[in-house]
Every structure is written in C-alpha cells, then in structure tokens.
C-alpha cells in the first residue's frame, strides 16, 4: 500500500482542480493506494473527498503567483515556512510515499519531498501569461523541486523551455472524466418547460464559472446579433461566481442582457447540480473563453454526444477537432455568431456522435488514471533503483 498526499492550494466552491482530482482519486486502485488531500481551508468538496475514503487535512499553503501588492512575496515566504513545517509533520505522521501537488505556483510540499527523499510530481493547470519570464521562473522551480511535471496541453510547455532546451521531466496527460449515467426517465422537455421554450427551439448551452476569463459577454453579444434572424436559437448559461471579486462581473452580465434586450434569448440559470441532465437536453455546447487551460466541461459535453463551439485557447485545439466542433478566435462576438450559425446549418448531431467517439478514445477517466499511475510507478521504481545503488555503493 502506497500513501499519496495530494496538495490543492485553492479553496473554491466551484469545480476546477477539485473536479479532476476527484476523478483521479476515484479511479485509483484502493488496494494499492491510500489517498490524503491537503487543502488550505474547508470547502464543499471536503464531503466528496471523504465519501471516497480520503483523509482530508488542512494547513497553510504558500502560492507564488501574480503579486497583488508589495507585501505579497514577503507574506508568502512566511507562509512557506509554516507550510513546510506542517507538511513535514503530515509526511512523517502518515508515512507518505509520494507527493502530488496541483497548480504550478504552490511551493512547499515539493521542497519537503526533496528534503526527505520522497518522489514528487506537480500538475501544471496554467498557461503562460505576460510577463512570460515570471512564468518561466516559477516553471523552473517546478522543474528543480519535482521528479516529474505533468502538463495538460502542448501550450503549457513553453514555460518549461529555457535557452532552447525543454525540461526533461515533462509528461503530457489529458484530464479525463467518467461518463455520467443516462437519466432513467425521459427528460427532454424539462428545461424547455422551465424556460417556456417552443419544441422547435434549439438550445446552445454554456457551463462556466462567471469570471472574465470565460468571455461570457462575447456570447451575450453574439446572441443579440442572432436574435432577429435566428429567434429559435436559445442560449443557456449555467454557473456562478467562485470568488467575491467576481460578483461585479456577474452584475455586468445581467446588465448587458437587459441592455441588449435578450432576456428571452439568454437565460442564466446559476449554479446547478444537474449538469449532466442539462447537457442531455441541449443541442450544442458553446465555450467563449478568453483564457482557459483544459476545460473539463468540453469533455462532459462530448461524452453526452454534443458538438462544441469554442475559442482557440489553451488545450482546446487538442480537444475540439474538425469533425467534432468549430473553433473561433477569442474576444470576437462576430466570429462566435458566424460559428453558431454554421454549426446549426451543418449536421451537428453527426458531429456530436464523432465527439462522443473522440471522448471514448482519449478523454475517459480510465485513460487519465492509467497514465497518471504510470508516472507514479515510474517514480517508485526510480527511487528503488537509487536506494539499491546507494546500498551497493556503501558495500563497496
């Protein structure tokens, strides 16, 4: 039995890292791996972790991301010292065999791993932004302090290139999800009835956190441009804010809907727990992100047989192919409008079938877990070889 400590530094109530981490933990062989999750604070996901038999721990976690003020790095250096002390105690108390940190800016657990000779791996959920040199610096710390670094898509690799050389510790592993069960009873009319839609209306659904990075204003603008010529296309936005500072953005979206007069075209449903059912009742997924890395919602839609209209950001080009969806440039409501019209003019249901096939070939939880476990086992073998070499050296 191997004890694995997962580190998740951000306490959010809405998806993100927790969603894919839960998929990984649920897919691990419980007879071989015992899981521990270290969080910075309690969240709604604690109960979900515990339902999988995970020991959930809390402690200070230091992140070195984009500075918010002059004292940012000084505060985090202090937190780092506290975090390392706490993690060292956790590692020894629970006899941790491997540390898997999530998010590139979290530092501390990997340092303890190096100090105590424990294999460490870090999953990078980020893309490079400006200034690139700052991301390359943090990426270099990831390279130094981990045995392996997992990236989700090719575009993340640029951060791990220095002087025309790429880190030899990189492994690309796509996130994967399990296909949710089909509804036991017919549900095709529920959402239509709720919104008062006609039977011939087509539903374009967007599932996203209400954050500027999701580019939802461009979707609303595209909907307004489609309203007159395509009144049968209705837009459903599912999601809510995750952080206090995002509430202003939500207010801006609601104001934009009123100003453009699309209250009967764009429907904001808020946070819902029946996303799989909503996807089954929809025709197309639209994701207008300005910035995204590897949006799991695309996988969820593909698993339900939905084609996708999405912006060309992050790992989206590795998820959306020519026969499964349409990609457009970000921050462009005209391009989004044109793509939506094109999609509904095509045999979009056939594209949905191809999307489902691609999901099964590349993005299942089984693929995700098996590739991650292969990294774990490689690190365990390397540690055994190193220990064996050390013993032979002593005997000589």
Diameter of the chain measured on Cα atoms:
84
Residue-level pLDDT at 51: 97
Average pLDDT of the chain is 93
Residue-level pLDDT at 68: 76
Let me know whether 377 and 299 are in one domain.
no
- Total count of domains within the chain: 2
Beta bridge partners of 107: 62
Residue-level pLDDT at 34: 98
Let me know whether 336 and 378 are in one domain.
no
CB atoms within 10 A of CB 392: 9
Average pLDDT estimate for 268-279: 93
Let me know whether 346 and 198 are in one domain.
yes
Let me know whether 212 and 223 are in one domain.
yes
| Whole-structure pTM value | 0.90
Residue-level pLDDT at 392: 67
Task: Indicate whether 109 pLDDT > 90.
Answer: yes
Average pLDDT estimate for 142-153: 97
Alpha-carbon torsion, ordered 79, 80, 85, 90, to 10 deg: 100
Let me know whether 110 and 222 are in one domain.
no
Let me know whether 25 and 164 are in one domain.
yes
d(CA 208, CA 59): 29
End-to-end CA distance of the chain: give it in Å, rounded: 32
Let me know whether 201 and 75 are in one domain.
no
- Give a yes or no: residue 304 inside a domain: yes
Tell me which of 167 and 181 has the higher pLDDT.
Answer: 167
CB atoms within 10 A of CB 358: 18
Task: Indicate whether 14 pLDDT > 90.
Answer: no
d(CA 91, CA 4): 10
- Give a yes or no: residue 42 inside a domain: yes
Let me know whether 124 and 249 are in one domain.
no
pLDDT bracket for residue 53 (50, 70, 90): very high
- Give a yes or no: residue 31 inside a domain: yes
**H or E element that contains 144:** helix 132-145
Beta strands, E only, the chain: 2-8, 33-39, 55-58, 62-63, 98-102, 106-107, 120-124, 148-151, 161-162, 165-166, 170-172, 202-207, 233-238, 266-270, 284-287, 308-311, 325-328
Let me know whether 322 and 374 are in one domain.
no
pLDDT bracket for residue 13 (50, 70, 90): low
- The domain in which residue 289 lies consists of 190-362
Residue-level pLDDT at 391: 67
Let me know whether 357 and 371 are in one domain.
no
Let me know whether 256 and 319 are in one domain.
yes
- Give a yes or no: residue 185 inside a domain: no
pLDDT bracket for residue 352 (50, 70, 90): very high
- Give a yes or no: residue 249 inside a domain: yes
Q: Exposed e or buried b for every residue in 169-195, given b needs 16+ CB within 10 A?
A: bbeebbbbbebeeeeeeeeeebbeeee
Q: Are 171 and 150 in contact (CB under 8 A)?
A: yes
The three-state secondary structure class of 165 is strand
Q: Which domain CATH number covers 7?
A: 3.40.50.2000
Closest CA to 121 of 92, 97, 99: 99
Let me know whether 172 and 313 are in one domain.
no
Task: Indicate whether 134 pLDDT > 90.
Answer: no
- Give a yes or no: residue 183 inside a domain: no
Residue-level pLDDT at 186: 53
| Residue 292 CA from chain centroid, whole number | 8
- Give a yes or no: residue 24 inside a domain: yes
Tell me which of 109 and 11 has the higher pLDDT.
Answer: 109
- Give a yes or no: residue 34 inside a domain: yes
Average pLDDT estimate for 93-110: 96
pLDDT in tens, 228-244: 999 999 999 999 998 88
Residue-level pLDDT at 385: 87
């Amino acid at each position: 039995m191997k004890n694995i400590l997962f580190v998740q530094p951000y306490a959010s109530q809405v998806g993100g890292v927790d969603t894919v981490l839960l998929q990984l933990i649920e897919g691990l062989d419980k007879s071989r791996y015992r899981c521990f999750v270290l969080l910075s604070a309690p969240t709604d996901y604690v109960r979900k972790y515990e339902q999988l038999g995970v020991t959930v721990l809390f402690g200070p976690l230091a992140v070195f991301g984009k500075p918010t003020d002059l004292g940012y790095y000084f505060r985090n250096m202090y937190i780092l010292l506290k975090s390392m002390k706490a993690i060292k105690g956790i590692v020894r108390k629970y006899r941790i065999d491997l540390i898997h940190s999530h998010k590139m800016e979290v530092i501390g657990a990997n340092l303890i791993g190096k100090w105590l000779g424990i294999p460490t791996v870090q999953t990078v959920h980020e893309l490079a932004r400006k200034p690139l040199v700052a991301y390359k610096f943090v990426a270099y710390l990831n390279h130094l302090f981990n045995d392996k670094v997992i990236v989700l898509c090719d575009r993340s690799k640029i951060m791990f290139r220095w002087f025309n050389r790429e880190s030899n510790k990189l492994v690309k592993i796509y996130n994967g999800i399990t296909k949710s069960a089909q509804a036991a009873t017919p549900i095709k009319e529920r959402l239509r009835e709720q919104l008062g839609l006609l039977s011939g209306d087509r539903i374009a659904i967007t599932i996203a956190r209400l954050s500027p990075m999701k580019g939802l204003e461009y979707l609303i603008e595209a909907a307004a441009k489609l309203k007159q010529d395509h009144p049968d296309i209705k837009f459903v936005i599912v999601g809510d804010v995750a952080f206090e500072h995002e509430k202003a953005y939500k207010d801006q979206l609601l104001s934009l809907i009123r100003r453009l007069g699309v209250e009967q075209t764009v429907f904001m449903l808020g946070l819902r727990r029946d996303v799989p059912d909503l996807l089954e009742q929809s025709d197309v997924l639209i994701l207008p992100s300005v910035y995204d890395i590897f949006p799991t919602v695309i996988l969820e839609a593909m698993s339900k047989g939905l084609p996708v209209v999405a912006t060309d950001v992050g790992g989206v080009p590795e998820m959306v192919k020519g026969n499964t969806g349409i990609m457009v440039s970000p921050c462009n409501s005209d391009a989004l409008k044109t793509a939506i019209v094109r999609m509904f003019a095509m045999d979009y249901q056939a594209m949905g079938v191809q999307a489902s096939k691609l999901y099964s070939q590349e993005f299942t939880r089984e693929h995700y877990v098996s590739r991650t476990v292969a990294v774990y086992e490689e690190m365990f073998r390397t540690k055994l070889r190193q220990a064996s070499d050390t013993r032979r050296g002593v005997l000589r």
